[in-house]
Chain A
Amino acid sequence: MATRWFGAPVQRLEDPRLLRGRGNYVDDIDLPEMLHAAVLRSTQARARIVSIDASAAWSLPGVHLVLTAQDLGEVLEPSPLLVPHAALTQPRTQLPLARDTVRYVGEAVALVVADDRYIAEDALDLIDVEYESFPVVHSLEVASITDGPLVHDDVPGNVAAHLAQTVGDPDSVFASAPHVLHETLLIDRGAAMPMECRGIVARWDAQDSMLTCWISTQGPLPIRNGLAAIFHLPEHKVRVVAPDVGGGFGTKIMMFYPEEVLIPFVAMQLGRPVKWIEDRREHFISANQERSQLHEVEYAFDDAGILLAVRDTFLHDTGAYAPYGIIVPIITACTLPGPYRLRHYSSEFTVLYTNKVPVSPYRGAGRPQAVFVMERIMDRIASELHLDRLEVRARNFISPGEFPWDVGLVYQDGGPTKYDSGDYLAGLDKLKVLLDYDTFPALQAQARSEGRYLGIGVGAYVEGTGIGPYEGALVRVESDGRVFVSTGVTTQGQAHITTFAQIVADQLGIAPDDVMVSTGDTQAFNWGVGTYASRAATVAGSAIHIAAVKVREKAKMVAADLFEAAPEDIELADGKVFVRDAPHRALTLGQVAISSNPLRYAYGENARTLMSMKLAGPRPGPALPEERGGPGLEASGFYSPPHGSFASGIHGAIIEVDPVTCNVTFVKYAAVHDCGRVINPMVVEGQVHGGVAQGIGGAFFERLVYDEEGQIINASFMDYLLPTAAEVPSLLVDHVETPSPLNPLGVKGAGEAGVIPVPALFASAIDNALAPFGIRIREMPLHPSRLYELLRDAKDKPAL
């Protein structure tokens, strides 16, 4: 396989368009006659709807429709449960509009369609909803009170699911272990906050009986299939397009958000296109969130710092509904062992409903929590035994000879949690170099003598990526020699347009610029699932590769006939198809494409030159010989991985803590990352950068604060603090490449990696910086005021 483009830092092909403001996001779509929708959202976290009076809203000039639950007819169905699981005994999903009960602040109660969004919002103010409010389940603590308030009256104890898994025999290991510790660790809520909020434009074409929806989503195909079923339309009469999407981070893989049903519904009902754009205030209270978990962990280790067994029991907050099943806590349970040789492990979790925004995966998806727990353990072992923290990790790492390594748990895709490849020690060694790890103690001592508190922290992780079920792609060479590629996955900024083009370019001997990649349009490709779980490059990338190889073989076959040569002697390079060692006998790829399509007429320059060349005439027999399998240089490819591939990494940072204000600044940040073979190092680094920035946000800036009434009291960017370029340090990134044996490209996912170890390493660094005060961080996220309290308490207590 020629590998000219694979591995090269090709500049992002999508950027010139996006940077010039030529992107086409949902809100850029303006159709003639279009109306605008706004959603009335519950102001109560737990209440019965006594009455809704929409008469004043109806009579406001410019209002076309006011919908409440009772107007929805058979569309008033709970959203599908996306990933059922036997342990999820009490699945509950949301109605498009609340019927008689609301379960979180932000739940959709009514919808208004008006001439413009201004009028629609005026009308919302005129809808009078009377609520009867009840005590609110505003925390995991309240959710677990015996005979406490219930989110769903018919779900006892608010327990949605309970799952216990055991590997090895932890009980007997604990019974005889030299050291056993127990700790409580907490991770609180955060949210993805993509720059572009959600949005939908729906158009019903009555003449064509065709429904078209542009949705800012990560999964247009499943939505298309669902909408077809809901509205009793054939699938080919529903087109869902994810145009440019300004970030998803998992929030947009959720389906169905109520609006995804409501907006097509009203567009069909009114016979006019309808647009709904979620504003930031709505996003805070209606787009899914994540992270909240409370872990009780017990761990056993020996005198050499070898981790012998872990018993982890945790509560997982799923919010008011569980649309995504128990994927997130399953990932947590499976991620916890990390890069370590943990043979005795029991994991038990309980998923609880709370009166909060529903939970579904957000970049990292349960992993930052798991890594926080495991890395806290590693640090603690080091401090208990007075060993170096990296040394403890190194002693516990699974070594390269031990792959494939089976953790022994069932992963989120139902397959094994089986690490395909890795070299964790190589990553650790690179990190030491990047951080200047060995000279840090001197630096730290120097700073302390000046009254400054520097700390170094590390976090290592293994990330399951590239899960099934499958993805597919179509690759087609057009007459001008450019190549059209379409796939069912979507792109939200990860540079798929570039990396997919690189994969195709290598197979067809062309430049990536000549590849036109279409993502997320159900009319361009009919099969697939979506972009999530760091799987697009691995799964769709492999499918694209497979399709491109087929096209290459077909091009060789067609050219061989024209040149009267053997297919194995045909080569593709520099946009040409030629006989090996006779490059003067060459056609352009476009000319071969034209020849592969036996029309009576062909158009354009390429066709004219073709006519004037002395090439072999068609063989006798059918114009389309059987073995070509159809006209054109076109092929589809599908790829279904045997199970997920496991990327890994280790990050480290040097921070400085102001011991009075408790502010923390990053002095240095380094990340070593292994996502198998790297398609484009620049793109992978970009993913790591973005992930780390988001991780820093989740560790020290971003925090969703719910009060006891279930109201988010910091629901704006004034108080929900996204880190800016000023807060994120410049990053040092290095790669380890252990190819995955599971797919033809040898790649693993890279999308979520950056975010995963940040809370863990942040805690590690703070402990280290404030070691003189004997502090131990057991919660995330932190903020200066909270760190101040923790430090104050540590100072008041005898050291650990």
Chain B
Amino acid sequence: MKPPRFRYCSPRILDEALVLLDQYGEEIKILAGGQSFVPLLNMRLAAPAYIVDINHISELHYFETEPDYLAIGAIARQRQVERSVLVQEKHPLLVEVIKHIGHMQIRNRGTVVGSIAHADPAAELPALLTCLDGEVLAQSMHGERVIKAKDFFAGYLSTTLEAGELLTEVRFPWLARQAGWSFIEFARRAGDYALVGAMAVLTPALDDTCMSANIAYFGVAGSPIRARAVEQVLIGTQLDAHTLDAAAGAARDVVGEDMQDVHATVEYRRELASELTRRVLKQAWARREQLEGAQ
């Protein structure tokens, strides 16, 4: 389990990294926290000729509140975001999600952006970005572009990022004040990738019916899944038992036909997706803030 030979570059400024990426195209890989990439390298599942280590580019080390979203720079560690009092207060769902990633030691090194770039379909953060309709910022020698989550994840461990592009920032939208949220994953052990995970953000209307629902799953297909069909079931309801049954039933369909592995059959994953749906919906709805005038 030793990697093949590669050349290592460690730029201090972003432009230098972008030049390297431009120059070496498909032959270069980015090293962030290394928590996913280094194992791949050691198992010789990745064998790039060049590695650009972005850990020393201090201008990418930030997280900032913007009016519509929390912006997180490419080398902010998962653990830093998790421990930030500001984020705990303003984006508790993000903190809850991060807590479920691996173990403390992993989160000390692993970056939020690295997890998004890696696009593991069983990972928590890509699902959250999908759930919230977040976006990412990609930069290259030739400019920058903002990509919506739904246009970014492109199947198992792949994204629409192009050769020469660096993901410099990820943007997690804020939740509406009255929204209730819930995140539950079913993993075999504490810290494992989930067999199935689900999250829900439910926003009540003035009449305390569900006005909007954002529901996403991970571990169910090649990419994180936003479940519009489940969401539709909820709109305009008060999440009574009948609605929950319908939503739980609809959730079975999010599990792909090929989601069979050593840990779970498709049928079992469907059962999990259905049950987690029930649980996140109940919890999210219970956490909503009832608006003035609602009974």
Interface pick from B27-35, B79-87, B197-205, B264-272: B264-272
Q: Is the CB of B5 within 8 A of A279?
A: no
Using Cβ atoms and an 8 Å threshold, which residues of chain B touch A125?
A: 4, 44
A701: which B residues are within 8 A, CB to CB? Answer: 188-189
Tell me the complex Cα distance, A713–B261, Å. 9
Contact of A724 with B189 in the complex, beta carbons under 8 Å: yes
CB distance from A357 to the nearest CB of B (A): 17
Give the residues in chain A near B186, CB-CB below 8 Å: 661, 663
Given contacts A281-B1, A785-B268, contact A714 B262 (CB under 8 A): yes
**B3 A727 Cβ-Cβ under 8 A:** no
Determine if B262 and A281 form an interchain contact, defined as CB atoms under 8 angstroms apart.
Answer: no
Residues of chain A contacted by B264 (CB below 8 angstroms): 784-785
Q: Which of A114-122, A268-276, A310-318, A761-769 lies on the face that meets chain B? A: A114-122
A778-793 Cβ-contact flags toward B at 8 Å (1 or 0): 0000011100110000
A175 within 8 A of B: no
Verify B271–A783 contact, CB threshold 8 A: no
Point out the residues of chain A lying under 8 angstroms from B193, CB to CB.
718
Q: Does B291 contact A (CB under 8 A)?
A: no
Residue contact A661 to B2, C-beta cutoff 8 Å: no
- The answer, yes or no, to whether B191 is at the interface (CB within 8 Å) is yes
Q: Is B165 an interface residue (CB 8 A)?
A: no
Return B187 CB to nearest CB of chain A, in Å.
Answer: 10
Given contacts A785-B265, A788-B271, contact A118 B189 (CB under 8 A): no
Contacts A663-B186, A713-B262, A719-B263 hold; do A724 and B191 have CB atoms under 8 A apart?
yes
Question: What are the residues of chain B within 8 A of A118 when measuring CB–CB?
Answer: 2-5
A726 CB-CB contact with B under 8 Å: yes
Q: How far is the CA of A103 from the CA of B163 in the complex (A)?
A: 44
Contact with B along A241-284 (1 / 0, CB 8 A): 00000000000000000000000000000000000000111000
B189 — which chain A residues lie within 8 A by C-beta?
Answer: 701, 721, 723-724, 726-727
Interface contact A719-B262, CB-CB below 8 Å: yes
Is A433 in contact with chain B by the CB < 8 A criterion?
no
A410 lies within 8 A of chain B by Cβ: no
Q: Say yes or no: is A562 at the interface (Cβ < 8 Å to chain B).
A: no
Residue A88 at the chain B interface, CB threshold 8 Å: no
Is B206 in contact with chain A by the CB < 8 A criterion?
no
Q: Which of B190-220 touch A at CB < 8 Å?
A: 190-193, 195
Q: Tell whether B13 is near chain A: CB-to-CB under 8 Å.
A: no
B275 within 8 A of A: yes
Task: Check if A117 sits within 8 Å of B268, measured CB to CB.
Answer: no
8 A Cβ contacts from B249-295 to A:
261-265, 267-268, 271-272, 275
B146 located at the interface, meaning its Cβ lies under 8 Å from any Cβ of chain A in the complex: no
Complex Cα spacing A727 to B187, Å: 12
A721-B195 Cα distance, complex, nearest whole Å = 13
Please state if B190 and A727 are interface contacts (CB–CB under 8 Å): yes
In the assembled complex, the CB of B101 is this many whole angstroms from the nearest CB of chain A, namely 14
A789 near B265 (CB under 8 angstroms)? yes
Which of chain A's residues have a CB closer than 8 A to the CB of B188?
A: 701, 721, 783-784
Q: How far is the CA of A117 from the CA of B1 in the complex (A)?
A: 9
| Mask of A577-618 contacts with B, CB within 8 angstroms, 1/0 | 000000000000000000000000000000000000000000
Contacts of B190 in A (CB 8 A): 724, 726-727
Q: How far is the CA of A121 from the CA of B44 in the complex (A)?
A: 10
Asked whether any CB of chain B lies closer than 8 Å to the CB of A705, the reply is: yes
The residue on A at minimum CB distance from B272 is A661
Q: Which residues of B contact A723 (CB under 8 A)?
A: 189
CB contacts (< 8 Å) of A86 on chain B: these are none
Whose C-beta in chain A lies nearest to the C-beta of B196? A661
How many residues of chain B are within 8 Å of chain A by beta carbon?
A: 25
Alpha-carbon distance A100/B5, docked complex (angstroms) = 32
Q: Which residues of A contact B5 (CB under 8 A)?
A: 118, 122
| B43 CB–A CB distance under 8 Å | yes
Minimum CB distance partner of B269 in chain A: A785
Contact indicator B262/A280 (Cβ below 8 Å): no
If A726-B189, A726-B190 touch, whether A122 touches B268 (CB-CB below 8 Å) is no
Chain A 653-675, CB-CB to B under 8 Å as 1, else 0, gives 00000001111000000000000
CB distance from A271 to the nearest CB of B (A): 25
Return B283 CB to nearest CB of chain A, in Å.
15
Whether B3 and A785, one on each chain, are in contact in the complex, defined by CB atoms closer than 8 angstroms, is no
Residue pair B2, A121 in contact (C-beta under 8 Å): yes
- Whole-angstrom distance between the alpha carbons of A726 and B268 in the complex? 24
A611, chain B: closest CB distance, angstroms? 59
How many angstroms from the CA of A768 to the CA of B195 in the assembled complex?
A: 26
Cβ A281 vs Cβ B191 within 8 A: no
Q: Mark A688-699 against chain B: 1 for CB-CB distance below 8 A, else 0.
A: 000000000000
Q: Which of B2, B192, B267 has the most CB of A within 10 A?
A: B2
Is the Cβ of B271 less than 8 Å from the Cβ of A280?
Answer: no
- B residues within 8 A CB of A727? 189-190
Contact B191 A117 (CB under 8 A): no
Contacts of A721 in B (CB 8 A): 188-189, 192
Q: Given known contacts A121-B2, A701-B189, is B268 in contact with A788 (CB within 8 Å)?
A: yes
Chain B neighbourhood of A661, CB < 8 A? 186, 271-272, 275
Expressed in whole angstroms, the Cα–Cα distance for A666 and B286 within the complex equals 29
Give the nearest-CB partner of A662 in chain B: B268
B93 to chain A, nearest CB (A): 22
**Which residues of chain A come closer than 8 Å to B195, judged between CB atoms?**
784-785
- Could you tell me the distance in whole angstroms from the C-beta of B43 to the nearest C-beta in chain A? 7
Residues on the B chain within 8 Å of A662, using CB: 268
Residues A716-735 near B (CB distance < 8 A): 718-719, 721, 723-724, 726-727
List chain A residues, Cβ under 8 A from B263. 719, 783, 785
Bound CA–CA A719/B195 (angstroms): 11
CB neighbours (8 Å) of A783 from chain B are 188, 263
Which of A122, A660, A663, A705 interacts with B262 by CB under 8 Å? A705
Contact A280 B268 (CB under 8 A): no
**Cα separation A726 to B3 with both chains bound (whole Å):** 32
Asked whether A784 lies within 8 Å of B268 as measured between CB atoms, the reply is yes
A727 closest partner in B (C-beta)? B189
Query: Which chain A positions have C-beta within 8 A of B43?
Result: 281
Contacts A701-B189, A726-B190; A279 near B262 (Cβ below 8 A): no
Max chain B C-beta neighbours (<10 A), residue from A125, A661, A662, A723: A661
Residues of chain A within 8 A of B3, CB atoms compared: 118
Cα A783 to Cα B4 with chains together (Å): 37
- Closest A residue to B4 by beta carbon equals A122
A663 proximity list for chain B (CB < 8 A): 186
Say which residue of B2, B261, B271, B275 sits within 8 Å of A117 (CB atoms). Answer: B2
A456 to B268, CA, bound (A): 25
Find chain B residues with CB under 8 A from A121 CB: 1-2, 4, 44
Q: How far, in whole Å, are A124 and B195 apart by their CA atoms in the complex? A: 35
A789 to B43 Cα, complex, angstroms: 34
What are the residues of chain A within 8 A of B1 when measuring CB–CB?
Answer: 121, 279-281
| Chain A residue at smallest Cβ distance from B266 | A785
> Which residue on B lies nearest to A716, using beta carbons?
B43
* Residues in B neighbouring A117, C-beta threshold 8 A: 2
Q: A661 vs B198: C-alpha distance in the bound complex, in angstroms? A: 14
State the Cβ distance, B55 to closest chain A Cβ, in Å.
22
Determine how close the nearest CB of chain B comes to the CB of A583; give it in whole angstroms: 56
- Chain A residues with Cβ below 8 Å from B262 are 703, 705, 713-714, 719
**A536 shortest CB reach to chain B, Å:** 32
A720, B208: Cα distance in complex, Å: 47
Q: How far, in angstroms, from A723 to B4 measured CA to CA in the complex?
A: 32
CA distance A279 to B267 in the complex (A): 35
Given contact pairs A121-B2, A661-B272, a sample of 14 additional A-B residue pairs in the complex whose CB atoms are under 8 Å apart: A125-B44, A281-B1, A661-B271, A661-B275, A718-B193, A724-B189, A724-B190, A726-B191, A783-B263, A784-B195, A785-B195, A785-B265, A788-B268, A788-B271
A-B contact pairs, 20 of them (CB 8 A): A118-B4, A118-B5, A121-B44, A122-B5, A280-B1, A281-B1, A281-B43, A660-B275, A661-B272, A703-B262, A705-B262, A714-B262, A719-B263, A721-B188, A727-B190, A783-B263, A785-B265, A788-B268, A788-B271, A789-B268
List the 5 shortest-distance A-B pairs measured between CB atoms, nearest first.
Answer: A726-B190, A785-B268, A279-B1, A785-B264, A118-B2
